[in-house]
């Protein structure tokens, strides 16, 4: 079966930096896989996620989505299938409800059905955000609340592949395990492929693959569980 995502010989170096962040990185993700990316700071974990959704451009190697090079796809259409949640959650200067519905105003998502207010309120409760109203300003939320809201906003788009950059870094243990359990459920029920960078010791049950990014950039290794 054709993998959902295939990375071949990927190399990336930031402009002005002598050494590349990584070189010759390979990774294959099948549909419905749950992959953890681990490693020390500066090993390129976040960069890898940004390269997959084309927020950065690699100097070498190729990334294929459903067998097609990313460079052959319209960026906005690609990103309506691959959703990326950054480590520092970003909210537009709008209400919580408007922030959640923001992606549905974009052309690439016009075929997707926006959720009803009832559904949004149900989801807010699932994400331990029941105390907040849809009309409340999203900018006034705490970082942890924004992090949950950002994940929720991505889930609403029902992407094929979700890229999460330390999604629980600002969460208390209880909220963190709630986020992981929701991700596990999405992975199991909707066959959503998930790649997440994490420093957490929590190991979701459905994880079968861990990519360890090492300082010695030639030695990145994949462990199958």
Bridging pattern class, strands 5-12 and 22-29: antiparallel
Among 13, 24, 56, 94, binds other proteins (CB under 8 A): 56
| Alpha-carbon distances of 222 from 8, 77, 213, rounded to whole Å | 14, 29, 9
Sheet of 5-12: strand order equals: 22-29, 5-12, 60-65, 68-69
Separation of alpha carbons 148 and 145, rounded Å: 5
Nearer to other proteins, 150 or 213 (CB): 150
Is 188 among the residues that bind other proteins (CB under 8 A)?
A: no
Among 107, 116, 135, 201, binds other proteins (CB under 8 A): 107
Among 154, 168, 196, 220, binds other proteins (CB under 8 A): 154
Among 21, 27, 64, 85, binds other proteins (CB under 8 A): 85
The number of beta carbons lying within 10 Å of the beta carbon of residue 221 is 9
Is 79 among the residues that bind other proteins (CB under 8 A)?
A: yes
Nearer to other proteins, 6 or 188 (CB): 6
Contacts (CB under 8 A) with other proteins, residues 158-187: none
Contacts (CB under 8 A) with other proteins, residues 4-33: 15
Is 71 among the residues that bind other proteins (CB under 8 A)?
A: yes
Is 70 among the residues that bind other proteins (CB under 8 A)?
A: yes
Residue 216's Cβ-side half-sphere holds a number of Cα atoms within 13 Å equal to 3
Is 86 among the residues that bind other proteins (CB under 8 A)?
A: yes
The interface region with other proteins, picked from 99-107, 116-124, 137-145, 214-222 by CB under 8 A, is 99-107
Instruction: For residue 11, give the nearest of 61, 63, 71 by alpha carbon.
Output: 61
The number of beta carbons lying within 10 Å of the beta carbon of residue 73 is 16
Cβ burial of 117 (10 Å; 0-12, 13-18, 19+) is: exposed
User: Which residues bind to other proteins, rule: CB under 8 A?
Assistant: 15, 53-57, 70-71, 75-77, 79-80, 83-86, 88, 90, 92, 102-103, 105-109, 150, 153-154, 157
């Amino acid at each position: 079966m054709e993998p959902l995502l295939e990375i071949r010989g990927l190399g990336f170096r930031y402009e002005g930096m002598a050494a590349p962040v990584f070189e010759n990185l390979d990774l294959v993700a099948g549909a419905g896989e749950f992959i953890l990316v681990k490693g020390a700071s500066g090993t390129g974990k976040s960069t890898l996620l940004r390269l997959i959704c084309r927020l950065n451009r690699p100097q070498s190697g190729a990334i294929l989505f459903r067998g097609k090079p990313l460079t052959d796809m319209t960026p906005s259409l690609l990103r309506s299938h691959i959703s990326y949640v950054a480590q520092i959650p970003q909210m537009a200067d709008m209400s919580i409800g408007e922030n959640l519905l923001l992606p549905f105003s974009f052309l690439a998502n016009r075929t997707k059905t926006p959720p009803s207010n009832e559904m949004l309120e149900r989801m807010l409760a699932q994400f331990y955000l029941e105390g907040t109203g849809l009309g409340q300003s999203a900018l006034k939320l705490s970082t942890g609340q924004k992090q949950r809201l950002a994940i929720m906003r991505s889930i609403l788009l029902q992407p094929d592949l979700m890229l999460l950059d330390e999604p629980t870094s600002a969460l208390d243990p209880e909220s963190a395990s709630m986020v992981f359990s929701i991700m596990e459920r999405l992975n199991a029920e909707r066959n959503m492929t998930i790649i997440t960078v994490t420093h957490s010791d929590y190991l979701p049950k459905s994880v079968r693959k861990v990519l360890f990014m090492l300082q010695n950039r030639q030695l990145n290794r994949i462990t199958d569980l």
